Amino acid sequence: MTKAPFVATAGATAALGTALGSLALQLRADGYEQYVESVANFSVVMYVTSALILVTWFRDARSRSN
């Protein structure tokens, strides 16, 4: 598999995680505590998803090099 789709998808997913983390901080500052946990959890899920995409890419690259 080529590098571009993996890198673009992982980057976009990490950017979404960053945006959601920022939103969680803003919600906390504005007093919307009931939404902070859900948004923060989704932010963490986006970072984990991004990391798993990169792991998939590395494993695919290793399997093709053998």
Note the pTM of the prediction, 2 decimals.
0.85
> Which pLDDT score is estimated for 9?
94
Higher pLDDT, residue 64 or 8: 8
Give the whole-angstrom CA distance, residue 41 versus residue 17.
Answer: 10
Q: How far is CA 43 from CA 1, 8, 11, in A?
A: 27, 18, 14
Is 80 exceeded by the pLDDT of residue 55? yes
pLDDT score of 61 = 81
Residue-wise pLDDT for 38-53, tens only, equals 999 999 999 999 999 9
Q: How many angstroms separate the Cα of 15 from the Cα of each of 1, 21, 44, 49? A: 23, 10, 12, 12
